[in-house]
Amino acid sequence: MSVLIYIDNTDGKFKKAGFEAVSYGVALAAQAGSEAVAVSLGNVAEAELLKLGNYGVSKVLSSTDERFASMDNQAAAKALAFAAAKVGAEIVVLAHNNLGKAIAPRLAVKLQAGLVSNATGLPLNLSPFTVNKNVFTGKAIGHAVVHTAVKVLTLSYNSYGVVEKPVSVNIEAFDAGLGDADFGLKVEQTQKVTGKILLSEAEIVVAGGRGMKGPENWGGIEELAEILGAGTACSRPVSDEGWRSHGEHVGQTGKIIAPNLYFALGISGAIQHLGGVSGSKVIVAVNKDPDAPIFEAADYGIVGDVMKVLPQFIEAAKELKA
Amino acid sequence: MNFEFTEEQLMIQQAARDYAQRELIKDVLERDATATFPTHHVKALAELGFMGMMVSPDYDGTGLDAVSYVLAMEELSKIDASVSVIVSVNNSLVCYGLEKFGNETQKNKYLKPLARGEKIGAFLLSEPEAGSDATSQRTTAEDKGDYYLVNGTKNWITNANSASTYIVITQTNAAKKHKGITALIVEKDSPGITLGPHEDKMGMRSSDTHSVMFNDVKVPKENRIGEEGFGFTFAMKVLEGGRIGIASQALGLASGALERATAYAKERKAFGTVIANHQAIAFKLADMAVKVENARNLCLKAAWLKDQGKPYGIASAMAKQYAADIAMEVTTEAVQIHGGYGYVKEYHVERLMREAKLTQIYEGTSEVQKIIISREQLK
Amino acid sequence: MKILVLIGNVPDTTTKIKFNADKTAFDAAGVQWIINPWDELALTRAMELKEAPGSKVESVTVANVGRQETEATLRKALAIGADKAIRVDADARDAFYVASQLAKVCQGFDLIFAGVEASDYNGAAVGGMLAELLGMQSVSAVSGLQAEEGFVRITREIEGGSQTLTAATPLMAIVQKGIAKEPRIPAMRGIMMARSKPLEVLSPVDTETRVSFASFDLPPAKAACKKFSEEQAKELIHALRDEAKVL
């Protein structure tokens, strides 16, 4: 019996969401009295695989088949089902990111498993297997009960955290035996956003809303984000107006984020916006309207002109980082 | 009795709401400030079918009932009465008049493009000395054999510049007074038509209002609607339906203001609690809600009667008078609830208040509606 | 090409979420139901593909699993332009249940659109499960899709960027924001025609329930916002470091 943790890579590198999934899986295995096993698909160097030991997993299955680089959901699900059978996995954990979300439902069908996506913590109970998950886009929590013998979970980002617990790692190569027919996707082009902190990974996010008045005023947001090593985001009206790209829209129908610190600058905090950011650990709001709903969700707030406040934030952040 | 809407009616209401809250809201303040005609909105609303809602599909309309029309007008007017008056004039004055009283040739030539919304219509009744008193027309149409020669001035004409098709109420036989009144279809680009300057209005600033001067304008006789002398009856019948449009517009202004005031009262804090918890505000909102509900019921009743083919002239007069008067009251109270914020443009309610004023004036003032209602009451 | 769009019936996104007294079920009283926002975007894209010049799209079908009260949502999809609707007459118990029902009716489609998740239970699972049950290729996080002869060209979001790729049909496209600019508002004529379009109602097949909800909770109330004045902006940043310890 074991807990299998899938850790995805981007160009051979693991990311925080994966380390968090490993940390979670290790704790889950301890709770269930079983063994945690990580599995990696694609061309990942040994040095990178060894890093997983920092988060408490001592056994890593690795299939270095380069064809996984196309991030083919069907092929990945097949390979993970193979790995799950190999280690007798009772529970499979994936990060709730683009790839995890895509693979998990296919894998659950293959394993005849119940799927809980967006799980937010360790099981409340192992029998019946009960785990909390976000529902209504963060506006409520559901206590999901899984009735099947095998379970698949995707872990909501930043809901558990990365826990360091160094152990030595035993890497085991495996071949899932996939044919070329299993890889149906042909990648033509990949565009990477370079030099920017990814919203999905950012520990800190600085977001602007309509209160910023226009795209010409985003310089301050970008400067603050750069000083703090933060990602930049915006509210829906801002992306609808074309001031910023849709990729920056956070909210119920845009990206759902859960950073440690979220700055809402000139964002009134419509219920759809709050749905996308309510998982943030600390929310700072600046808005000239004292009755803006964002202040209900915020931990720290300033009622005032964001144009006056932002330069002070930048100055204070500079001092802090100096 | 059945107060339920059909699924289609609800979908139409939702479509109008979506368009208003998604699109009209984007530039409504700017268009109000700059008095810019909403050309792109008229085009989009035409594509969605709002410009010829009640016209039969045989003439390229959507063939909807008047109840749907009320629901759509209310939703558009919550956000932007300048746009809704363009919709109202095209639908319930021009399209309705042509469909009900025009002949086949006129319907094919003029009604179809109006119902598709490719062209816009205007209804030219008011004159410098004949507004709500429609009997004393001074614009003359002189019989010249196969055409009329039209001379005179029309005032306060909604869509005057943007319209292609005018329906003009003229005097063809002054001796016969109102029995000498005749309705003509006039193409706006006919030689001899000039427009007065764009009226700089208090509200509904995004709709274009001008006076229109006719100087020896030739109008072919086949453009006469009905017989000579039918024009007064024509105008009165058309205005009966027009009142439903403006009543629903007034309703929308009131319900839009009520929605904004309610949301504001639940957010704005004073003396340690949201102002909705103060009875002075809560009771204001209750009074406003009752007025809005009454106005809505009057509008829907008039529309329902029209849909049933029953007389609705008195019902539409009641709806128009009441909805317009409460629109003024409710929007004024909405400004009051907003306090200082209500007096600045960003919060919309001052604009709704300015716009509500016009609903008491145009397409028959509240006083004229009371004449209609009281005559019926006293007969 | 025949397109199927999966349609979820969800509470309006502005709904204040409430549960029944013992917190075991969502309280639907007074709730306005809408097409799941991502499904609505998917449908909009499907209609764009159908209406494009030289389009090879023969038909757009919509399908859901739900009781009769969800038909209004399907009819809205028909009003937007879908040619046909299918409803499996059952309560949507869990993602696997829904996918199993749909698997029965999803034969013969070249392209299936599913929204990335439903805004109610955020399962993010039906599209992927259905693809697996049908043995169909799936692409997730799709933000753009062009139909070509015998294949589709897709843009999808990946961690840290985006990717264009091609895939053969039949294909399940699990879509998110960007797939269409804005959901389409149904035209009046579409609304009037919706009722005359076919809406087929099917009986469900027996399927186990794999996941259920024991109960629900609302998130714990946040402590009151700590307010600073405009002039104390720097102190707020200091508090983030010293008090909240997030800097």
Is it the case that residue B137 has pLDDT exceeding 90? Answer: no
Contacting C residues, span 144-183, partner chain A, CB-CB under 8 Å? 153, 156-168, 174, 177-178
Residue A195 has what pLDDT? 65
Helix H or strand E segment including C239: helix C233-242
Digit-coded pLDDT (tens) for B150-189:
999 999 999 999 999 999 999 999 888 889 999 999 999 9
Q: What is the mean pLDDT of chain A?
A: 93
Q: Which residues contact A9 (CB under 8 A, 6 or more apart)?
A: A15, A18, A40, A42, A44, A48
Residue B81 has what pLDDT? 97
Out of C16, C160, C211, name the one closest to residue A192 (CB).
C160
Q: What is the CATH number of domain A204-321?
A: 3.40.50.1220
- Binning pLDDT at 50, 70 and 90, where does residue B136 land? confident
Q: Which of B6, B10, B14 to mutate to test the interface with C (most CBs of C within 10 A)?
A: B14
Instruction: Please check whether residues B219 and B251 belong to one and the same domain.
Output: no
Out of A193, A261, A302, name the one closest to residue C230 (CB).
A302
What are the distances in angstroms from CA A158 to CA A26, A173, A276?
A: 16, 30, 14
Would you call C227 an interface residue with chain A, using a CB distance cutoff of 8 Å? yes
Closest CA to B232 of B278, B286, B171, B186: B171
Residue A137 has what pLDDT? 86
Q: Which residues contact A191 (CB under 8 A, 6 or more apart)?
A: C161, C162, C163
Q: Which chains does chain A touch, 3 or more C-beta pairs < 8 A?
A: B, C
Instruction: Please check whether residues B258 and B154 belong to one and the same domain.
Output: no
What homologous superfamily does CATH list for C2-215? HUPs (3.40.50.620)
Residue that terminates a domain, selected from B79, B105, B120: B120
Nearest CA in chain B to C186: B15
Is it the case that residue A197 has pLDDT exceeding 80? Answer: no
Cβ distance C171 to C159 under 8 Å?
A: no
Is it the case that residue A13 has pLDDT exceeding 70? Answer: yes
Is it the case that residue B131 has pLDDT exceeding 70? Answer: no
Out of B10, B22, B64, name the one closest to residue C188 (CB).
B64
Instruction: Please check whether residues B126 and B154 belong to one and the same domain.
Output: yes
Asked if residue B2 is part of any domain, the answer here is no
Closest CA to B61 of B106, B95, B17: B95
Round to whole Å and give the CA distance between B261 and B296.
Answer: 18
Which 3 state secondary structure label does DSSP give C25? coil
Instruction: Please check whether residues B367 and B300 belong to one and the same domain.
Output: yes
CATH code for position B20: 1.10.540.10
Please say whether the dihedral angle defined by the alpha carbons of residues C108, C113, C115 and C120, taken in this order, is positive or negative: negative
Q: What is the mean pLDDT of chain B?
A: 95
Instruction: Please check whether residues B209 and B310 belong to one and the same domain.
Output: no
Q: What is the largest CA-CA distance in chain A?
A: 61
- Binning pLDDT at 50, 70 and 90, where does residue C74 land? very high
Strand spans (E) along chain C:
2-6, 9-11, 33-35, 59-65, 84-88, 111-115, 137-147, 151-158, 161-168, 171-175, 199-202, 211-217, 226-228
Digit-coded pLDDT (tens) for A145-159:
999 999 999 999 989
Instruction: Please check whether residues B224 and B274 belong to one and the same domain.
Output: no
Q: Which of A10, A72, A74, A111 to mutate to test the interface with C (most CBs of C within 10 A)?
A: A74
The reply to whether omega before C198 is within 30° of 0 (cis) is no
Q: Specify the DSSP class assigned to residue A200.
A: T
Average pLDDT, stretch B196-219?
96
For residues C222 and A148, the model is more confident at A148
Is it the case that residue C177 has pLDDT exceeding 80? Answer: yes
Residue A255 has what pLDDT? 87
Residue A271 has what pLDDT? 85
Average pLDDT, stretch A274-278?
89
CATH code for position B305: 1.20.140.10
Residue B132 has what pLDDT? 61
Where helices occur in B218-278 by DSSP H, the ranges are 231-267
Contacting B residues, span 4-63, partner chain C, CB-CB under 8 Å? 7-8, 10-12, 14-15, 18-19, 22, 47-50, 53, 57, 62-63
Exposure pattern of B332-363 as b/e (b: 16+ CB <10 Å)?
bbbbebbeebbeeeebbbbbbbbbbbbbbbbb
Residues above pLDDT 70, as percent of chain A: 99
Q: Could you tell me which residues of chain A have a Cβ less than 8 Å from any Cβ in chain B?
A: 290-293
Digit-coded pLDDT (tens) for A55-66:
999 999 999 999
Q: Within chain A, which residue ranges are assigned CATH 3.40.50.620?
A: 2-182
Average pLDDT, stretch A193-202?
76
Would you call B269 an interface residue with chain A, using a CB distance cutoff of 8 Å? yes
Identity (one letter) of the amino acid at A131? V
Round to whole Å and give the CA distance between A212 and A309.
Answer: 12
- Binning pLDDT at 50, 70 and 90, where does residue A253 land? confident
Residues above pLDDT 90, as percent of chain C: 85
Round to whole Å and give the CA distance between A69 and B247.
Answer: 64
Residue B134 has what pLDDT? 65
Asked if residue B201 is part of any domain, the answer here is yes
Residue that terminates a domain, selected from B181, B207, B232: B232
Q: Which of C44, C70, C80, C191 to mutate to test the interface with B (most CBs of B within 10 A)?
A: C191
Chain B residues inside the 8 Å CB shell of C187: 15, 47-49
Count the domains in chain B. 3
Is it the case that residue B273 has pLDDT exceeding 90? Answer: no
Asked if residue B347 is part of any domain, the answer here is yes
Instruction: Please check whether residues B253 and B350 belong to one and the same domain.
Output: yes
Round to whole Å and give the CA distance between A207 and A270.
Answer: 14
Q: Within chain A, which residue ranges are assigned CATH 3.40.50.1220?
A: 204-321
Digit-coded pLDDT (tens) for B349-372:
999 999 999 999 999 999 999 999
Residue A284 has what pLDDT? 95
Instruction: Please check whether residues B345 and B369 belong to one and the same domain.
Output: yes
Q: What is the CATH number of domain A2-182?
A: 3.40.50.620
Round to whole Å and give the CA distance between C163 and C176.
Answer: 14
Report phi then psi at A170, rounded to 5.
-110, 115
Write the DSSP string, A79-126.
HHHHHHHHHTEEEEEEESSHHHHHHHHHHHHHTT-EEEEEE-SS-SEE
Instruction: Please check whether residues B128 and B189 belong to one and the same domain.
Output: yes
Instruction: Please check whether residues B226 and B344 belong to one and the same domain.
Output: no
Round to whole Å and give the CA distance between A49 and A102.
Answer: 23
Asked if residue B27 is part of any domain, the answer here is yes
CATH code for position B165: 2.40.110.10
Question: What does the block give as tokens for B117?
Answer: 């919304």
Residue B346 has what pLDDT? 87
Which 3 state secondary structure label does DSSP give B274? strand
Q: Specify the DSSP class assigned to residue B309.
A: T
Least confident among A168-172, B14-18, B177-181: B177-181
10 Å CB burial of residue B197 (0-12, 13-18, 19+) is: exposed
Average pLDDT, stretch B51-78?
97
Residue that terminates a domain, selected from B93, B120, B147: B120
Instruction: Please check whether residues B257 and B349 belong to one and the same domain.
Output: yes
Is it the case that residue B377 has pLDDT exceeding 90? Answer: yes
Digit-coded pLDDT (tens) for A31-53:
999 999 999 999 999 999 999 99
Is it the case that residue B309 has pLDDT exceeding 70? Answer: yes
Is it the case that residue A279 has pLDDT exceeding 90? Answer: no
Instruction: Please check whether residues B246 and B184 belong to one and the same domain.
Output: no
Give the residue numbers of B marked as catalytic.
Answer: 363
Nearest CA in chain C to B18: C185
Between chain B and chain C, the number of residue pairs with CB atoms below 8 A apart is 43
In the block, tokens 């392209």 appear at C111
Asked if residue B186 is part of any domain, the answer here is yes
Domain span at residue B357 reads 239-378
Closest CA to A146 of A156, A133, A161, A137: A133
Helix axes C95-105 and A98-110, enclosed angle (nearest 10): 70
Cβ-defined contact of B62 to C189 (cutoff 8 Å): yes
